[in-house]
Structure 1
């Protein structure tokens, strides 16, 4: 072997070089490998410091909304907030710090910030702090996460396509399919110019599938969705393809749980025919009809989508009938009647017929009533026949009023509209309580039409919406004392509007009534108008407002107008059902519109939005009478 010249060999003259020569010599000796393994590496030399537990503070420099997001989801923040992880080895804290920028950027992307810049800074001043009382102090590291969010990414283009039965039908000229496609595109909520966030993206996709499924495409799904993001330009282009699947149509309806209700009664409530598209709203309206029929305690309309049966999809209706007979005992009090006891009995098949029979007996100090209301089980249309008889004796405003009446008619209820038309015979006799003299005794027959329309967010406890009720009656009185018999027309209307303005719940209502007849023609007292009381002009006794005769005895008016405005808000944010209210009412009943002079009532009240309706307690001041009156009522009047 040729050796290198001696003048080229390196010269080790320093002390470190000498130590290296000694080390190389030792490695050549037997047992040197074991000696080398016992030496710590550079990482192992720092191991005690890396394994030392530390704690830290975290300061996030970012806009408020982003700071909340990062504080909630960053590992650095979550570890610090939990007592069991508020102290970690220094090496683990280094790992958390290194992972934080990438984790933060991923979180910011869900808010549409794809070009955000994130960095961390750490300061270790040798401080120490206690994580818990009594424990040894730990080294404290101060961390800072700095976020430069940049411009939010906005949608620059959206393309929504369809495939499946919906696409085939639309291409074939089906107007309904074409309209549904257009409606889906128009209702797409993440449109051009809007910030592209994960929540908005998921919400828009879910809403579109919900629309398709609600319109009969029960198995609709996304066959492809792409969001192409250009972070540098802060733009996102969206492309989606929805597979509608088959259009489901109504097939056979199977009813479960029927006993004393005949199948044809529930079939009469069906708002669809076999072969029609099976839409979600149709099912919901059908279920609502069954519930409103008062024949059932529970109603469940179910359908399990099966693409193989889409052309005639079976529907299952599970029903639990109300008991054949029910009796209710009620105790109550009102400003119009005082304490009262009410006994009601409901029979689902009165006298063995397909009629509901409701018998009511009410006993109060100034009001005694006995009535029987009959309502047939539903007939196709759907409509129900109604019949009733009533006998009542009531005292108010110095008069004792005895009423006897009988009705026969038909009702029809839709989702938002109730209609009732009936013929009625009644005889009303009024007697002056002070001297016992008969002031009026009038029999009459009339044909009546009653119409109630509601568009409310909740029929029992509305906060937004409108209700409107109208009633028209054409009748003829006969053998009257002391007036002469003759024809008359009676019309009433009531409009109520509910709104929510921030924390305030507002209610405004207007009620008008008019009886058209010659002055000499007698009209039954119960068809004339008087007002005042809980649901009219508060601050006055029930039925105390209206015209009087020369002796000061109350008589009915032929013109009525009442208006009211009320605002209520929760007394405590933690209990929104309990509310305080302020209100003002105005109105009157008069013999005619000439010289009509409304009176005012105003005050404060408490509201409790109970499960069975709104309970109201009002303290009202009647401006005309200059006195306070307490009013109490439950429920709402349409």
Structure 2
């Protein structure tokens, strides 16, 4: 019996051990499953989302560009773990506050509303609609600013004679410069305070000081204290001007064919003057425009221990003494052509550039010699030129003989040309031999060109203006000789219209005046219209008065205008544009007889490195005919 109880007890003990083991396994298995949730669990599964900004329109681009909720999706992530999305949502209010503070809003609030997107049937991956509500609050404005200028400028301004400076001198009086610094500070009281305006205002004062010779000017301290309750900014700044640097010894390297006398008139600075950046850049630009030099470099190394004398080194590399160019071209005006040019940098061993040009085309032939002196005091450049040309246009063969003597003067935006000209022009019918006109004139002329463009070759914004006036006397073998005057004006404007659209407009006027209406004027000085740079749809110089036999004669008045809009074909081809244009105008004997012709059409533009190439298909309204035009470059 005792043996049986022990066996039962042993059997019961084994069953208990098995039960404990089964329970342990169940508990362990349940714990392991709980520790490894399914990817399909709602709280950790993936979702898709859409973000909508409820914010002022002017702030939406900033928020859309930098908020993580928007940026994450723009990177190509269509799905996101729910936990990661919750992290982005939680971070959004602080991100909004940080972004809006850069725009002057220091009391902004933001909240994210999560809305499910109803759909039937339900999508495999849940989609959430997130609406970010933004209240920017009042914008902060500058309450006051305090600017403390230290360094050499402040010390010089404190001297009794600081303001006693010649108003025509290149150096600004220290006291005047101090006032200018305070006046130029952009964040004046009541001005909106933003991070961009704060940075720009500080950079502007540093640039002003460095432009006046304080090359090492720097901010010693800047502080913007923001009062978010009253929405005000208190600005405190300390500006260290550093020493005033002055120009010391000037050395020029690299002159061979060009004498020092040829660059001396171009200097815009001298020893002892403040080391200012603009005169150095202007001088460098003048050297480049002479076309005498391949490269131009102006270097200096300010030494804080010797600010009173900074050496300036001018490194030049001259162009080759002889330069020859052969070119092939085509235009609607002259057809195919070949051009040969030779440039001598020291013609006949004299300080003159000599340019010889020979051009042979289907309807235009030319041979010319232009002599231009190296720069002389002014600075000016003297010129002497002669040309012989023959052109077929308007049913005529026009032969020109020309001699000019004058001088030019170029500045940053303005080109001036004064010259005396002797001109002889003869005309005959294209298929005839007898002369219909043979006129000679002697005139005194002035040309003026002004440009304010964002790019010298490929402008998209700005204005170019060209004007010419002349007075002289004509001599004719067939009709009356006498005095006459001539004037022309051409204005071209470029305007960006937004969203990659660009506009261009042109107006050109001209008139020849003479006391006696029958006074003969050389054909070349009269006006004709039609062609690439005039009225598209019509042949070159085909518009204007006509003689009884149908041959062209020159008009005494000219008026043309053009309007064009253009847009890139695609965002990936910014250099290729399509364009639509409308031209109108005419050349006539007088304004009473002026009846404009019209041409319009479509074209293609290639903004090449050497200038815009244009191909236009134009409809001539009066002729009811299409004409293809081809040209390159811009005209002023």
Q: Is the 8 A contact 2:51 2:69 kept in 1?
A: no
- Alignment CA distance shift 1:366-1:177 (3 Å): same
Q: Is the 8 A contact 2:486 2:513 kept in 1?
A: yes
Aligned partner of residue 553 in structure 2, secondary structure: coil
Q: Does 1:438 align with 2:438?
A: no
From 490, 507, 510, give the equivalent of 2:508. 510
CA distance in 2, matches of 1:397, 1:353: 42
- Alignment CA distance shift 1:411-1:82 (3 Å): closer
Structure 2 counterpart of 1:30: none
CA distance in 2, matches of 1:80, 1:325: 58
From 144, 157, 160, give the equivalent of 1:157. 144
Q: TM-score with structure 1 length normalisation?
A: 0.79
From 339, 343, 346, give the equivalent of 2:340. 343
CA distance in 2, matches of 1:636, 1:425: 28
Aligned partner of residue 535 in structure 2, secondary structure: coil
Aligned partner of residue 343 in structure 1, secondary structure: strand
Structure 1 counterpart of 2:520: 522
Structure 1 counterpart of 2:461: 464
Structure 2 counterpart of 1:592: 590
Q: Does 1:330 align with 2:327?
A: yes
- Alignment CA distance shift 1:235-1:369 (3 Å): same
- Residue by residue over 1:146-194, the C-alpha shift from the partner in whole angstroms, topping out at 9 and shown as x without a partner, is 9876544432222223222333444433674444444433333334344
Gaps of 5+ in 2: 1-34, 115-124, 165-171
From 346, 368, 372, give the equivalent of 1:371. 368
Q: How far 1:116 moved relative to its partner?
A: 5.1
1:164-313 map, 5 Å: 164-171=151-158, 172-173=162-163, 176-313=173-310
- Residue by residue over 1:28-78, the C-alpha shift from the partner in whole angstroms, topping out at 9 and shown as x without a partner, is xxxxxxxxxxxxxxxxxxxx899x997888999975558965984769987
Q: Does 1:575 align with 2:573?
A: yes
CA distance in 2, matches of 1:178, 1:228: 29
- Residue by residue over 1:502-526, the C-alpha shift from the partner in whole angstroms, topping out at 9 and shown as x without a partner, is 2222223232232425234322221
- Alignment CA distance shift 1:102-1:605 (3 Å): closer
CA distance in 2, matches of 1:523, 1:576: 47
Q: How far 1:354 moved relative to its partner?
A: 1.6
More displaced 10-residue stretch of structure 1: 361-370 or 511-520:
511-520
Aligned partner of residue 434 in structure 1, secondary structure: coil
Q: Is the 8 A contact 2:63 2:96 kept in 1?
A: no
Q: How many residues align?
A: 575
Q: Does 1:556 align with 2:554?
A: yes
- Alignment CA distance shift 1:143-1:499 (3 Å): closer
CA distance in 1, matches of 2:64, 2:545: 71
- Residue by residue over 1:538-572, the C-alpha shift from the partner in whole angstroms, topping out at 9 and shown as x without a partner, is 22111111222222221222222222222222232
Structure 2 counterpart of 1:495: 491
Structure 1 counterpart of 2:381: 384
Structure 2 counterpart of 1:476: 473
From 345, 365, 390, give the equivalent of 1:393. 390
From 356, 359, 372, give the equivalent of 2:356. 359
CA distance in 2, matches of 1:302, 1:55: 64
Q: Is the 8 A contact 1:505 1:569 kept in 2?
A: no
Q: Is the 8 A contact 1:532 1:541 kept in 2?
A: yes
More displaced 10-residue stretch of structure 1: 516-525 or 60-69:
60-69
CA distance in 1, matches of 2:202, 2:487: 51
More displaced 10-residue stretch of structure 1: 436-445 or 369-378:
436-445
- Residue by residue over 1:227-283, the C-alpha shift from the partner in whole angstroms, topping out at 9 and shown as x without a partner, is 112233332211112112233333333323333222222222112233333332222
Q: How far 1:420 moved relative to its partner?
A: 1.2
In angstroms, what is the RMSD of aligned CA positions?
A: 3.9
Q: How far 1:197 moved relative to its partner?
A: 3.5
Q: How far 1:145 moved relative to its partner?
A: 9.7
Aligned partner of residue 576 in structure 1, secondary structure: coil
Structure 2 counterpart of 1:131: none
- Alignment CA distance shift 1:428-1:68 (3 Å): closer
- Residue by residue over 1:78-119, the C-alpha shift from the partner in whole angstroms, topping out at 9 and shown as x without a partner, is 799799xx889x9x9999999998777656544444445689
Aligned partner of residue 307 in structure 1, secondary structure: coil
CA distance in 2, matches of 1:67, 1:403: 61
Structure 1 counterpart of 2:616: 618
- Residue by residue over 1:281-312, the C-alpha shift from the partner in whole angstroms, topping out at 9 and shown as x without a partner, is 22222222112111123323333333344333
1:442-457 map, 5 Å: 442-457=439-454
Aligned partner of residue 206 in structure 2, secondary structure: helix
Q: TM-score with structure 2 length normalisation?
A: 0.79
Aligned partner of residue 574 in structure 2, secondary structure: strand
Gaps of 5+ in 1: 1-47, 123-136
CA distance in 2, matches of 1:167, 1:521: 69
CA distance in 2, matches of 1:617, 1:54: 61
Aligned partner of residue 436 in structure 2, secondary structure: strand
CA distance in 1, matches of 2:61, 2:347: 68
More displaced 10-residue stretch of structure 1: 495-504 or 289-298:
495-504
1:422-433 map, 5 Å: 422-433=419-430
